[in-house]
């Protein structure tokens, strides 16, 4: 019977882990293994007692303990209980010393990831490893594959920047981290550090074996081929995202829980306002940099006027004004950077996190589609069974009964999975809201403290210049 074959779910995710390697990758040289260079930079960056000597990738990893992580809801619940009960454990992660490895399109940036902790699941109290950008994307893919389907909110990894990284690749070894590429490298370093810290704050993800291996295993991780920009896997990911987007737009779920309707409306409204605020803060940063440039012009003009002035006291005052304006220019630039890293970057992170929230909600919608599909197939199987009973065709009745039992089990599992992911999303959203409030509170406090410090320093500069202006005779 044609109905006996179960159609695939709508826009099901493509398994990129098992996809064949693309030999026609246009930028294959940009992400080929560079083991000798990687080893060299690792030895250079890991000099120190806190970093263990580099091991070969062929070394056995049997000594690595494995914490039983599963999708069973009982385990995450116990982990969250541990998080609530014990507050003495800490995990500090920092990323430093970005270094360019290699030349040309085969070059990449390597980062030193240093971790300090007293958590017993780690083998040492302090350790460091060398990781490249594709390693971070590979870690995110692993966590997403394991936890998104059960309703976890997975912190998004930093986005790839083809233009920014191409400038680094084509620059010389010394220019790569000291000229125009310095801003790009620093922003990426900061975003990678925030990503790891946000992942470490999650009571379940912090205990994941892949996350612990990323932090403490001083080996070169397997190359994440699925993270390359122009490959067969990349093209399939693009098609998959398009399909998912179409599915989100066209399929409207008959919501029975008003909590999800209210929360989704809240997320959409919050995302809209955050985008507006993010655009305004970016404009403010741009205006501060423009103000710094104009202040520099005032400083130069005052200095030139001072050299032409015959009146001694007035010439001295103009020279002092030029020096003061030069200090004010540096202060404006510093405040622009403060605005960017404190305000702009956090807003950008939370726009990504709201996208992760939407992904979790969409996983629930997909499970609802599976459940509804199973109910429709069960109705068809029961109808087919009833027809066989009416026509007394006992030869196919046993098969029909078996199919009805099979689809009844699928319907039951579908409802069970849907209920589980609904409860998980509610727990995750509760935790997300608490973290959001805390992060924004700390952001406002830090921003205001820095802003007050800048204004106080500005007042000192002009107070120091005031006696010089009054002394003009």
If you write DSSP's letter for every residue of 79-136 in order, what string do you get? HHHHHHH-----EEEEEEEEEEESSGGG-EEEEEEEEEE--TTSS-SEEEEEEEHHHH
CATH of 281-470, one of 1.25.10.10, 2.60.120.1060, 1.20.1270.60, 3.30.565.10: 1.20.1270.60
Least trusted range by pLDDT, from 16-25, 59-68, 261-270, 438-447: 59-68
* Coil/strand/helix, residue 393: coil
End-to-end CA separation in angstroms for the chain: 106
- Can you give the pLDDT at residue 236? 53
Considering the chain, tell me which residue range(s) the CATH 3.30.1520.10 domain(s) occupy. 28-51+68-227
Average pLDDT over residues 421-450: 94
More confident residue, 350 or 25: 350
- Can you give the pLDDT at residue 12? 44
Fold held by 28-51+68-227: PX Domain (3.30.1520)
Average pLDDT over residues 29-37: 43
Q: Of 15-29, 49-63, 181-195, which one has max mean pLDDT?
A: 181-195
Q: Residues of the chain with pLDDT > 70: what percent?
A: 71
Query: Quick one: pLDDT band at residue 161, thresholds 50, 70, 90?
Result: confident
pLDDT surpasses 70 at 159? yes
CA angle 448, 89, 212 (to 5 degrees): 100
Query: Quick one: pLDDT band at residue 194, thresholds 50, 70, 90?
Result: very high
Contact of 208 with 143, CB cutoff 8 Å: yes
Spell out the residues 6+ positions from residue 389 whose beta carbon is closer than 8 angstroms to its own: 397
Query: Quick one: pLDDT band at residue 227, thresholds 50, 70, 90?
Result: low
CA angle 37, 40, 45 (to 5 degrees): 125
Residue matched to tokens 């960056």: 45
Considering the chain, tell me which residue range(s) the CATH 1.20.1270.60 domain(s) occupy. 281-470
This prediction's pTM: 0.72
């Amino acid at each position: 019977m044609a109905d006996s074959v179960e159609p695939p779910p709508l826009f099901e995710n493509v398994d990129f882990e098992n996809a064949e390697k693309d030999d026609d990758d246009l930028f294959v040289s940009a992400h080929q293994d560079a083991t000798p260079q990687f080893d060299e930079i690792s030895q250079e960056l890991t000099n120190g007692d806190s970093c263990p000597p580099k091991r070969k990738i062929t070394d056995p990893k049997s000594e690595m303990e494995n914490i039983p992580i599963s999708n069973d809801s009982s385990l995450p619940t116990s982990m969250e209980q541990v998080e609530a009960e014990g507050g003495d454990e800490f995990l500090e992660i920092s990323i430093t010393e970005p270094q360019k490895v290699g030349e040309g399109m085969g070059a990449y940036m390597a980062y030193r990831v240093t971790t300090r902790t007293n958590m017993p699941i780690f083998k040492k109290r302090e350790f460091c490893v060398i990781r490249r950008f594709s390693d971070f994307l590979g870690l995110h893919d692993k966590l997403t594959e394991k936890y998104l389907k059960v309703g976890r909110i997975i912190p998004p990894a930093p986005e790839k920047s083809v233009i920014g990284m191409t400038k680094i690749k084509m620059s010389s070894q010394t220019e790569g981290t000291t000229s125009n590429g310095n801003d790009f490298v620093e922003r990426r370093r900061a975003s990678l550090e925030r990503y790891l810290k946000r992942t470490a704050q999650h009571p379940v993800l912090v205990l994941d074996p892949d996350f612990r291996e990323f932090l403490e295993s001083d080996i070169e991780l397997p190359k994440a081929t699925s993270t390359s920009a122009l490959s067969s896997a990349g093209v399939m990911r693009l098609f998959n995202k398009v399909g998912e987007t179409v599915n989100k737009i066209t399929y409207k779920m008959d919501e029975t829980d008003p909590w999800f309707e209210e929360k989704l409306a809240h997320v959409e409204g919050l995302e809209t306002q955050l985008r507006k605020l993010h655009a305004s803060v970016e404009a403010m940063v741009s205006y501060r940099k423009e103000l710094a440039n104009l202040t520099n012009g005032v400083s130069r003009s005052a200095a030139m006027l001072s050299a032409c002035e015959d009146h001694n006291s007035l010439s001295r005052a103009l020279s002092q004004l030029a020096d003061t304006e030069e200090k004010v220019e540096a202060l404006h630039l510093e405040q622009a950077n403060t605005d960017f890293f404190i305000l702009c970057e956090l807003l950008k992170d939370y726009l990504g996190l709201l996208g992760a929230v939407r992904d979790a909600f969409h996983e629930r919608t997909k499970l609802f589609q599976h459940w509804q599909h199973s109910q429709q197939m069960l109705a068809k199987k029961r109808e087919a069974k009833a027809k066989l009973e009416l026509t007394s065709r006992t030869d196919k009745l046993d098969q029909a009964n078996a199919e009805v039992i099979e689809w009844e089990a699928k319907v039951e599992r579908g409802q069970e999975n849907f209920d589980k992911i609904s409860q998980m999303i509610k727990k995750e959203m509760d935790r997300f809201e608490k973290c959001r409030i805390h992060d924004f509170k700390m952001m406002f406090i830090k921003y205001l403290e820095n802003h007050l410090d800048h204004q106080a320093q500005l007042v000192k500069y002009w107070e120091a210049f005031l006696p010089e202006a009054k002394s003009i005779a």
